[in-house]
Structure 1
Amino acid sequence: MKKIALLPLCFLPLTTAVPVRAQSDNLTPLKERVNVQADSARANQIIDGRWVAVGTNKPHTICLDHSLPFRGRPSYRFELKQDDNTLEGYAEGETKGRAELSYCYAVSNDFRNYPASEYPNAQKMKTVYHYGKGSCPQGSSMSYTFSVYIPRSLAKDVSTIFAQWHGMPSRTLVSDPDGKVTRLSVEEFLELEKKMIFKKNMGYEKVAATNAQGKTVYKAGKPNGWLIEQGGYPPLAFGFSQGYFYIKANSDRKWLTDKTDRCNANPATAKVLRPVASTYKASTIAYKMPFDDFPKACWVTFKVDIDWTRYGKEKETILSLGMLDVTMTYRQDGKDIERHIVDKEKILIGRNDEEGYYFKFGIYRVGNSTVPVSYNLAGYEEHAR
């Protein structure tokens, strides 16, 4: 898949997705949603020239907040109520909820120099966003900045990720029923896709049926033993869980991710900078502080420098360690405070994918939690170092 070069960040004119009727005088709901893997974004779905929204689209979930501006512009307010979980959790019977803005997406113009078949093929492979803006390559060195405003009313027992960096899995990487892993060509994958249905990372028999309108539709039958690359835990996440604010770095050097390997550091019990490891994965709590100590009712700005780990593709090796450096700044009680909370630590951070990483922020409520969540985010910037 051709990779679009990372462009220097520039300030774009303010162009906001078409709003629906305001929820209040201060909040403008943003209800348009984009499946960035399978669809390109239309003009009315692009927010402030740089974002698209993902997750549940209830009017309260993502809003422009004019009452809490950041540097003179409305911030983004995110909220999930108790009954807003719409996704299956990691474990059977669990749920999770999502309302986020994605910095990575493609538009129809990104396909203008490709054959007409390129876009529908990318839809089938769920790689549409690979053609667009907002991602960086594996092994790159990047700087990121964003700000969060946590209200005093946020419950201590929330379980939410408010900023995360995602991998971009190579969907043509498959495993057959005998366990042989192969990177298929686009043509080979499309032939496979004609014969089976992939749900998450598993292949199922493709069963024809007739719907109420008399049209032929296809449903997933029995599992057929095929697996496909889907991804895994985010390589980097900032969030709250079990009474802590935490920063977690994850690494997976396996060429085809093993979804049954749930190597994942617990913010409450894992020691800082002591990786929890399996054969191929490592999960590290890079920093944590008690929830009660996290600054509330003020803008907290994080500056994050990352050297993403370099991996050896099919050899499943580590070619070079990564690096993580995090500074948080805020103003409280009339004082400007700066804390260097992760100091250029050598760390495993990333995934063994050919593609790279992209940023999202908002609410990703996990762990079967239904505790209501609401906070504001703003001020995102990124650039190569």
Structure 2
Amino acid sequence: MVTPARGPGLRVVLLGRAGAGKSTTGNTLLGRERFQEGRATLQSVMEGGEVEGRTVTVVDTPGTNTLDKEGLREEMERALVLSSPGPQVFLLVVRVGGVTQEDVGVSRWIQETLGEQALRRTLLLVTGREKLTRRQWEEFEKQEVIRGLVRLCGGGLHAVNSKAEIHPGHVTKLLEKMEQVVEQNAGQPYTWDTYLQRRGLRGGRKGQGGGGGAEGGWRTQGGGERRGGKTGYEVEGQKQKEVEGKRNGHNVEEKRIEKEKQMRREEESRRLQEEMRREEESRKTAEKRREESRRKEEMRRREEESRRQQEEKRREEEEKRKRKEEMREEKNRKAEIKKKKAEEKQTAI
């Protein structure tokens, strides 16, 4: 079992559709090949390392379009456990030229599943910036789908080049942008407790839906902070035990359903890989046809050029033949004239 990340450092969870480049982004951020690229991520996985003097933990998650809502919820819970005490930044990864309303749907899924607290910590990351000119980028930012995503993501928008075109300075700027998101949220991560409160699995404190009075809120009795006959410390300790119990229960439940879910994930993975294979075959077939067409066109052009050259050669030879014929006729005519003159001279004598 993977040990969850704990202690100080930057903790990041990658979100987005399958094929958006989450695993590539994680490798780029960590500066080493830790996540498998080019294959569908079937389960949330954590990797980490030292990046520019700070500890960075990255959790890669399955594509939001590869699982149903229940499967996505379970994987998000797994991501929260792996990034314990909780992620400070959610990176919503999209590609230049591949942003659709489905990506807006991802942000709305974050809102519905994790709540506004998660959206406040969500940074929209666009990869492939080098593919657009400055003017094209300005037009890109004006697109309604991009504006909609930026409105939902409290961390704003940041763009980086593709992995092959990125350099350390780009990573530094991305880290600085994520640190800004952390500062905007007073350094507080999105915790497991926040998630439980979002799902209504844990009652709030005073001022957070806990109610009033002796039973609903905090009160002081006998110089100690008590609630329902228990000290605040006892209540807090009991709550912590409940949280740990729910967390352990989640692990047991995760193991119980893992076999059932694994078959579905593998089937989904096979389906995605089959689609990718068919797309690749279709692309290769189309490329082969285009190449065949180009080859035939080139052969036709060469044959046409050969016929043109042969025709020119034939005309040149015909022209030479005509000139020779004319020269021969001219020579015969001159000889005839000379002969007549000689005869006339002989007659005169």
**TM-score with structure 1 setting the length:** 0.22
Pair member with larger Rg: 2
Q: Which has the higher contact order (CA 8 A, sep 6+)?
A: 1
**TM-score with structure 2 setting the length:** 0.24
